[in-house]
Structure 1
């Protein structure tokens, strides 16, 4: 296959380059994707600065794991196995397991010994280099999990499928259900989608907390349908949740902030019996000062670490966007291009003067 494709390469030292690569051919049993859009997230910022946090992560790398595009070339094996054809728009699961190692074959699964993650584990010198969504094209391995995208949404809007899959997995893991009061701390795009996922699971009351700098994000939370938002710079979150619940407090607290102190707040926000806390916001390995573990014991509380999604959650996310496209449209956010990647990073790091975004997508041109 002839032609050139551009891609952003993160060098791992706070810089990046836009390079040209040959448009790849499909690997045996796989496909080539023409990437239309890829969501940008906080883990991309970590990669930008060379901070590694997933197994096998490499640097430099063509990043991007919230991937939506059209199938450019599909081998017969992939077409039959995936139920797709050339030209189909698909959402791509970034996790690729080999399906043959001991962990993959074990009952209940485990960490694949040959795990690949698009946008993380294969560098620019690995078999053509185009293995992440910041490239205009990318190879898809035979064991890739792809899902046909629903109609009626743009590629950029659809990129929220991946963080939504995380959110759906996490609300399931802490058993959010009808009758629950759920508090989400941190209204970044992942926190907002956790709120949307809690609503989809039938939570009776969803509250999102943020700071005075989160005006746009708290407004978006209300547009998603949450019942209340709390500006923690203006009022005490624990007292406010107490008012909203008649003193019963939250059944589930989901902590999505990068601030260690919110872990303490999460424990204070919970009800006195059987509450669940989901810790999903990375604190960059900073200890939590003043953590009172006795609260976990005395409140009979469950604390769950939450990272990543599952294939089932990916499928569920795509179905939910088909059923409730307003989630994707509300979360559409801001778009950048390969020529303005730096602006996208600035938005993620919240250093774009006078500007904020609920979600950032890198959109490739025709």
Structure 2
């Protein structure tokens, strides 16, 4: 397909430095498809790169100008000559991990820790545009029951599903979700869907509106971690034991330290947040209480099919997309995130 398209360009490795521009529509290779984007979400990574967090930027092989955005859905606009099983007009979302398919981790299905895993929306141009070129094997077809908005929210849903799957809370467990952002609230929805005992969602004073949303979405209790008695409150809510499972979705280095104080003996802490600074932990306490700390990165291939099935069967995640606006209003969306007035801002190119 020839012609130009609208896109949000990150022009250099510095704070802000973006512009709304007209650029050529990408030309696909024989093994790719062209997706006409219908909805694209602004992720925490996009937010960090906009403000230029060196700790986050160093994780990617960035070159400029760049088109960010890795949470999106759309319609197939063109199909490469070697692609089979995908047709123009089909509704899709996209797994943005360009996994190699050759390393031992890929062989086991663990593409999230692939030895060579560039990423759409950072290493390659992504979804803050009208079109994107995508390797065909990364396409996930959307059931007719899944809206484009939900399709754009499916990537963070997969993050939540993967974390829950790795940490494995059991029926009846008491669970704390630290961080009522998009990932934390999607964890809440997944946990309530699977039937754990009680879910406590924790945040700070700045998260007041998000904590209220957590209550609306089914949290059994909400908690301000800045209150002096926050740890005791978790103990009181769990029969003095502490939580069986805690998920850290905050991206703050102090969260894991508090989680160690809130967890029960032999409890499990899942870490999904990516803090820019190290956390200090008393390893003796972790050893003596047999606490497990489990890192969680992105998602496996199976999580995309699980996400499709869960939404198709009635899991409603659309509340996580709190605002919808045109692509050109990208920086207005960033401002909302800065003010913690939005969870996922959905852009419509």
Both proteins in one fold, TM over 0.5: yes
> Which whole-Å CA distance do the structure 2 matches of 1:114 and 1:288 have between them?
27
Contact 1:70 1:90 in 2 (8 A): yes
Q: CA RMSD in A?
A: 2.1
> Which whole-Å CA distance do the structure 1 matches of 2:107 and 2:150 have between them?
36
Please state how far the C-alpha of 1:348 moved relative to its aligned partner: 2.3
Which residue is 2:297 aligned to? Answer: 307
Please state how far the C-alpha of 1:57 moved relative to its aligned partner: 4.0
Equivalence map 1:132-281=2 (5 Å): 132-142=126-136, 144-234=137-227, 236-272=229-265, 274-281=266-273
> Which whole-Å CA distance do the structure 2 matches of 1:106 and 1:312 have between them?
13
> Which whole-Å CA distance do the structure 1 matches of 2:258 and 2:318 have between them?
31
> Which whole-Å CA distance do the structure 2 matches of 1:106 and 1:70 have between them?
30
Please state how far the C-alpha of 1:187 moved relative to its aligned partner: 0.4
Select 2:284's aligned residue among 294, 310, 322.
Answer: 294
Contact 2:177 2:199 in 1 (8 A): yes
Contact 1:150 1:321 in 2 (8 A): no
Please state how far the C-alpha of 1:208 moved relative to its aligned partner: 0.2
TM-score by length of 1: 0.87
Equivalence map 1:344-363=2 (5 Å): 344-350=333-339, 356-363=341-348
Which residue is 1:127 aligned to? Answer: none
Please state how far the C-alpha of 1:237 moved relative to its aligned partner: 2.0
Contact 1:35 1:68 in 2 (8 A): yes
- Does residue 5 of the first structure (1) align with residue 10 of the second (2)? no
TM-score by length of 2: 0.91
Contact 2:161 2:307 in 1 (8 A): yes
Contact 2:73 2:93 in 1 (8 A): yes
Select 1:89's aligned residue among 57, 81, 91.
Answer: 91
Which residue is 1:21 aligned to? Answer: 23
Which residue is 2:311 aligned to? Answer: 321
In 2 relative to 1, CA 164–265 (structure 1 residues): closer, same or farther, beyond 3 Å?
A: same
Contact 2:100 2:106 in 1 (8 A): no
**Worse-matched range after superposition: 299-308 or 215-224:** 215-224
Please state how far the C-alpha of 1:67 moved relative to its aligned partner: 1.4
Q: Secondary structure at the match of 1:257?
A: coil
Please state how far the C-alpha of 1:347 moved relative to its aligned partner: 2.1
Please state how far the C-alpha of 1:252 moved relative to its aligned partner: 0.6
Contact 1:216 1:357 in 2 (8 A): no
Please state how far the C-alpha of 1:106 moved relative to its aligned partner: 4.9
Please state how far the C-alpha of 1:151 moved relative to its aligned partner: 2.9
Which residue is 1:128 aligned to? Answer: none
